[in-house]
């Protein structure tokens, strides 16, 4: 298997799917001539032309709506938000149209659309541009939410997203685009199914559920804890809706402890949802309260030292696992 | 004017009491003599009634706390009255009171003493749940709540473990997985050691059970007795045959009424009558005086599930044996149910402890202060006795008198036993 970057994996998925199906097209700010703000769509304009790689004005509500309309007519649009922070102006299109039309049309009209773009805090991009948006979108029935952590997942999940007949919110990690990882050869056409978690590391000491950028924080913490003899099992749900709660619960039944690490705020969201489901499904297996490591409950500070304090860190994950395993 | 209500001293010997349950809740109207709460004392669960009229403005101590008498537990006043000054007063006493109220408990890991000024547990608003609240507390009252993780509770079910015996090492003494694992490991190891009758087995620490109020009272009073009362003991062996026969005849006579008396009832009667014959034994040391009691009130030791109680048969010297029987049966039953009133357990003048039913031949018992003496009754032995130079079957019984030497000298004690022996060996003399 070759090792490629996350951004290249996303690009490959787009390229392969556009190549496979003429109905697939990419639309968004700077996706064409500029080759993508994060160079994800590099070379696509040259290969597929302006009809299928469409630069838009700065008008998210407009092009999100156009995409939904296109999907309703049978195309398979991929709408890129330059970052997910900008999706908020298009929120009404997503929640009121993309998520509702299938049900409100009595199942006559599907909306096979993918909204994608970078999610979460980067380095010093300010409070308004540092959102981890999963809690907003994951709470909406009628939309899938995928959040790949690795290049392989990014590619396999995006291909699945494009082929799915439902609207998909596809959250790429803004800080993950440069991450390298093994990805199968192009002609393998690997599709990674939604609702299937991946066990990234096996262990029987404590289950850590993590996705997106904090997934790597969790892995690093697990390495550190292993030195003290605490073997963590790191589970990456890969999609937050549908959520593979069974794999998480099975892991917790084995380890008897659960720590959930996520970048979104602590109030509600998938972190709280997983904690809730685990405590009900694995109640008799829990040896300690479920711990959560989240971003702190405040708007992101601009100062880099403060930003570091807000985001989940390795020491915070280590501490949470130690607490859950009563290792002091 | 609102006032602070302290925990009343509900028995003369009460040094601390456990607020078993609040019957009134905050906001309830309170009249004089209304039941406020139930308090578990060294003797029994007692009623804590109000001396005041008004509204229960504040409960300062939640149910379950053990406190010294006079510790503030509630504030009663007029509805809507400002009690902030009183609360501040209570708070300022708080730390002091808590040290008095909760003397360092046994080092059970799960029992961190809770200061008395802890905010009271929220009381349910609807009246019917007050009862529910009480039953809930009652379940926990037996001992402290055992904190354990859900996993541990499942493991306990699967392995049939009594979690009370497991020492918790988690936060607040919570029992966690590793505690059960090490408990199981040690249990399995020691079981194995037993089966192999090896000289060395896995060892494990004692099971720690928090002492009940009754246990603490027994410990305190008997230690006090054995340390401060100069005991001496006199044992006499008597012919129990006549008493045995007397009982048999009485029970034949009672057969139609379907009633019976026991040997113990007759012994109580005999001891009581003997006290009239030798009244110097029916006395108490009072520091600078001796109280010679004018009544014969016999304390009867009754074994109850977690200890021992001594309900009193009043005027046992004048009661008929059947009356004694009824009295003792009633008292013993209610003692086991912890339903004795305080005055039924206090102010005896002499005690009887009978372990004959266990086959104990003789024993020396600890005096029940402030009583001056106690008699310990052994079992009736069937054995050959020499009568008029002939060996014949007989019934013998040993009795040991424990005397407080400050009150009863050896000769007096001996006279008492001699008088008692006469009564037992010729029960008709009791009528004299």
One-letter-per-residue 3-state SS of chain A? CEEEEHHHHHHHHHHHHHHHCCCEEEEECCCCCCCCCCCCCCCHHHHHCCCCEEECCCCHHHHHHHHHHHHHCCCEEEEECCCHHHHHHHHHHHHHHHCCHHHHCCCCCCCCCEEEEEECCCCCCCHHHCCCCHHHHHCCCCCEEECCCCHHHHHHHHHHHHHCCCCEEEEEECCCCCCEEEECCHHHCCCCCCCCCEEEECCCCEEEEECCCHHHHHHHHHHHHHHCCCCEEEEECCEEECCCHHHHHHHHHHHCCEEEECCCCCCCHHHHHHHHHHHHHCHHHCCCCCEEECCCCCCCCCCHHHHHHHCCCHHHHHHHHHHHCCCC
| pLDDT score, position A289 | 96
The domain made up of A2-188 has a fold known as Rossmann fold (3.40.50)
C-alpha A14/C-alpha A186 separation (Å) is 12
Is B403 within the bounds of a domain?
yes
Q: Which of A29, A60, A233, A307 is catalytic?
A: A60
B134 and B160 belong to one structural domain: no
Q: Is B372 helix (H, G, I), strand (E, B) or coil?
A: coil
Whether A22 is catalytic is: no
CATH code of residue B167: 4.10.320.10
Name which of B149, B171, B178 is nearest A286 (Cβ-Cβ). B149
Domain boundary among B98, B116, B141: B141
Residue of A nearest to B179 (CA): A287
Put simply, the answer to whether A288 touches B152 (Cβ < 8 Å) is no
Q: Determine contact: A285 vs chain B, CB below 8 A.
A: yes
- Tell me, what CATH number does B103's domain have? 2.40.50.100
pLDDT at B117: 42
Interface test with B, best of A207, A281, A326 (most B CBs within 10 A): A326
State the DSSP H helix or E strand holding residue B37, giving kind and residue range, or none if neither: strand B35-40
Q: Do the Cβ atoms of A285 and B153 come within 8 Å?
A: no
Cβ–Cβ gap B150/A286 under 8 Å: yes
Residue A60 has pLDDT above 70, yes or no: yes
pLDDT given for residue A328 in this prediction: 66
Residues B17 and B137 in one domain: yes
Chain B CA closest to residue A324: B170
Closest chain A residue by Cα to residue B180: A287
| Residue B383 CB-density burial (10 A; 0-12 exposed, 13-18 middle, 19+ buried) | exposed
pLDDT digits (tens, 9 = 90+) for A162-172: 999 999 999 99
pLDDT at B141: 35
Dihedral of CA A128/A90/A118/A261: which sign? Answer: positive
Instruction: Tell if the CB–CB gap between A288 and B154 is shorter than 8 Å.
Output: no
Are B117 and B163 in a shared domain?
no
CB pair distance less than 8 Å for A287 and B149: yes
Mutate to test the interface with B, among A284, A287, A323, A325 (most CBs of B within 10 A): A287
Q: Which residues of A touch B176 (CB under 8 A)?
A: 287-288, 326
Chain B: give the shortest CA distance to residue A286, in Å. Answer: 5
At A72-130, the pLDDT tens digits run: 999 999 999 999 999 999 999 999 999 999 999 999 999 999 999 999 999 899 999 99
- Separation in Å, CA of B107 to nearest CA in chain A: 21
Chain A nearest-CA distance from B184, in A, is 16
Nearest CA-CA partner of B43 in B360, B428, B310, B431: B310
Question: B296 and chain A: CB distance < 8 Å anywhere?
Answer: no
Question: B203 lies in a domain?
Answer: no
Kindly report, residue by residue over A240-285, the tens digit of the pLDDT. Answer: 999 999 999 999 999 999 999 999 999 999 999 999 999 999 999 9
One domain for residues B165 and B283? no
Is there a single domain that holds both residue B154 and residue B231?
Answer: no
Contacts of A286 in chain B (CB under 8 A): 149-151
Instruction: Please give the class, per CATH, of domain A198-324.
Output: alpha beta
In chain B, residues with a C-beta closer than 8 Å to the C-beta of A290 are: none
Torsion of CA B381, B383, B386, B392, to 10 degrees: 120
- Which residue, chain included where needed, has tokens 């009491």? B17
Residue B209 forms part of a structural domain:
no
Residues of A in contact with B149 (CB under 8 A): 256, 286-288
Is B331 inside a domain boundary? Answer: yes
More confident position, B173 or A161: A161
Residue of A nearest to B158 (CA): A284
Let me know if residue B206 belongs to a domain: no
Together in a domain, B94 and B239: no
Q: Strand, coil or helix: what is B47?
A: strand
Given this model, what pLDDT does residue A316 score? Answer: 97
Listed as own residue / partner, the contacts of B209-212 with beta carbons closer than 8 Å and 24 or more positions apart are B209/B143, B209/B164, B210/B105, B210/B106, B210/B108, B210/B111, B210/B143, B210/B144, B211/B106, B212/B306, B212/B307
B175 interaction partners in chain A (CB closer than 8 Å):
none
Query: Which residues of A fall within a CB distance of 8 Å from B154?
Result: 284-285
Nearest CA in chain B to A283: B150
Task: Show which of residues 55-94 on chain A sit within 8 Å of chain B, judged by CB atoms.
Answer: none
Q: Where are the domains of chain A?
A: 2-188, 198-324
Could you tell me if B259 lies within 8 Å of chain A, comparing CB atoms? no
Q: How far is A285 from chain B (nearest CA, A)?
A: 4
Contact B176 A326 (CB under 8 A): yes
| Min Cα separation A283/chain B (Å) | 6
Counting as low any pLDDT under 50, the low residues of chain B are 95-142, 188-189, 192-201
Chain-chain contact of B170 with A288 (C-beta, under 8 angstroms): yes
Which letter does DSSP use for residue B166 in this model?
Answer: S
Residues B172, B309 share a domain = no
- Domain boundary residue, one of B141, B162, B179: B141
* Number of compact structural domains in chain B: 3
Asked if A131 is an active-site residue, the reply is no
> Can you give the pLDDT at residue B143?
59
Nearest to A284 among B154, B171, B177 (CB): B154
- Omega of the bond leading into A242 within 30 degrees of 0 (cis): yes
Residue A261 burial class via C-beta count within 10 angstroms: exposed 0-12, middle 13-18, buried 19 and up: buried
| ipTM score assigned to the predicted complex | 0.76
Beta bridge partners of A11: none
% of chain A at pLDDT higher than 70: 100
Q: Which B residues, 156 through 195, put their C-beta within 8 Å of a C-beta on chain A?
A: 169-171, 176-178
| Subunit contact A285:B154, Cβ cutoff 8 A | yes
What pLDDT was estimated at residue B125? Answer: 38
CA distance A215 to chain B (A): 27
Q: Is the CB of A283 less than 8 angstroms away from the CB of B169? A: no
The answer to whether the CB atoms of B152 and A287 lie below 8 A apart is yes
**Predicted local confidence at residue B10, as pLDDT:** 81
Task: Please indicate if any CB of chain A lies within 8 Å of the CB of B149.
Answer: yes
CB contact under 8 A, A288 and B169: no
Q: Is B54 a member of any domain?
A: yes
Structural domain boundaries enclosing B73: 3-141
Does residue B132 sit in the same domain as residue B157?
no
Q: Are residues B56 and B25 in the same domain?
A: yes
């Amino acid at each position: 298997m070759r090792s490629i970057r996350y951004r290249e994996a996303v690009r490959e998925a787009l390229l392969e799917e556009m190549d496979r199906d003429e109905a697939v097209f990419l639309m968004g700010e700077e996706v064409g001539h500029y080759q993508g703000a994060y160079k994800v769509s590099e070379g696509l304009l040259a290969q597929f032309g302006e009809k299928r790689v469409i630069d838009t004005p700065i008008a998210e509500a407009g092009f999100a709506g156009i995409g939904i309309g296109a999907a309703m007519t049978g195309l398979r649009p991929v709408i890129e938000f330059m970052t997910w922070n900008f999706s908020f102006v298009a929120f009404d299109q997503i929640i009121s149209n993309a998520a509702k039309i299938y049900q409100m049309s009595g199942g006559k009209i599907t909306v096979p659309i993918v909204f994608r773009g970078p999610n979460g805090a980067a380095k010093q991009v300010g409070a308004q541009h540092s959102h981890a948006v999963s809690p907003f979108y994951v709470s909406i029935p009628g939309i899938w939410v995928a959040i790949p952590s690795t290049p392989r997942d990014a590619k396999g999940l995006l291909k699945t997203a494009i082929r799915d007949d439902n609207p998909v919110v596809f959250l790429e990690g803004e800080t993950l685009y440069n991450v390298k990882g093994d990805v199968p050869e192009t002609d393998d056409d690997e599709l990674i199914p939604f609702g299937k978690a991946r066990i990234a590391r096996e262990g029987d000491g404590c289950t850590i559920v993590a996705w997106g950028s904090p997934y790597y924080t969790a892995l690093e913490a697990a390495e550190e804890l292993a030195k003290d003899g605490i073997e963590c099992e790191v589970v990456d749900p890969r999609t937050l809706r549908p959520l593979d709660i069974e794999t998480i619960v099975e892991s917790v039944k084995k380890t008897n402890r659960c720590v959930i690490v996520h970048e979104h705020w602590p109030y509600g969201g998938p972190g709280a949802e997983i904690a809730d489901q685990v405590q009900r499904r694995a109640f008799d297996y829990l040896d300690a309260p479920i711990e959560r490591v989240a971003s702190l409950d405040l708007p992101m500070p601009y100062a880099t030292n403060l930003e570091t304090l807000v985001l989940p860190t390795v020491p915070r994950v280590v501490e949470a696992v130690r607490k859950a395993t009563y290792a002091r | 004017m609102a006032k602070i209500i302290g925990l009343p001293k509900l028995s003369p010997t009460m040094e601390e009491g456990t607020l078993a349950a609040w019957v009134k809740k905050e906001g309830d109207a309170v009249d004089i003599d209304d039941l406020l709460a139930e308090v578990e004392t060294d003797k029994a669960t007692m009623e804590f009634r109000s001396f005041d009229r008004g509204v229960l403005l504040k409960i300062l101590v939640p149910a379950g706390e053990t406190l010294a008498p006079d510790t503030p537990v509630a504030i009663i006043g007029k509805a809507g009255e400002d009690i902030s000054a009183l609360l501040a007063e209570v708070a300022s006493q708080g730390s002091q009171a808590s040290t008095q109220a909760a003397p360092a408990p046994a080092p059970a890991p799960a029992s961190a003493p809770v200061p008395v000024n802890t905010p009271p547990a929220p009381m349910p608003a609807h009246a019917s749940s007050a009862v529910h609240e009480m039953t809930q507390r009652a379940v926990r009252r037996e001992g402290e709540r055992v904190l354990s993780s859900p996993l541990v509770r499942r493991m306990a079910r699967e392995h049939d473990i009594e979690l009370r015996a497991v020492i918790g090492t988690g936060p607040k003494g919570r029992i966690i997985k590793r505690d059960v694992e090490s408990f199981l490991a040690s249990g399995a190891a020691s079981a194995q050691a037993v089966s192999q009758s090896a000289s060395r087995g896995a060892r494990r620490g004692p099971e720690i059970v928090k002492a009940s109020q009754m246990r603490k009272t027994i410990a305190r009073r008997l230690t006090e007795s054995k340390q401060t009362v100069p005991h001496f003991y006199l044992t006499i062996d008597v012919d129990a045959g006549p008493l045995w026969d007397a009982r048999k005849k009485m029970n034949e006579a009672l057969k139609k009424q379907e009633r019976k008396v026991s040997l113990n009832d007759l012994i109580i009667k005999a001891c009581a009558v003997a006290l009239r014959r030798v009244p110097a034994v029916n006395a108490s040391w009072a520091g600078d005086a001796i109280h010679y009691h004018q009544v014969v009130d016999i304390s009867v030791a009754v074994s109850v599930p977690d200890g021992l109680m001594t309900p009193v048969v009043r005027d046992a010297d004048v009661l008929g044996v059947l009356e004694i029987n009824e009295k003792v049966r009633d008292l013993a039953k209610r003692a086991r149910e912890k339903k004795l009133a305080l005055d039924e357990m206090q102010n005896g003048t002499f005690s009887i402890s009978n372990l004959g039913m266990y086959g104990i031949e003789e024993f020396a018992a600890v005096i029940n202060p402030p009583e001056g003496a106690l008699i310990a009754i052994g079992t009736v032995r069937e054995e050959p006795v020499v009568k008029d130079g002939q060996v014949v079957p007989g019934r013998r019984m040993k009795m040991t008198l424990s005397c407080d030497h400050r009150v009863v000298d050896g000769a007096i004690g001996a006279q008492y036993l001699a008088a008692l022996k006469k009564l037992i060996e010729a029960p008709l003399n009791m009528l004299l």
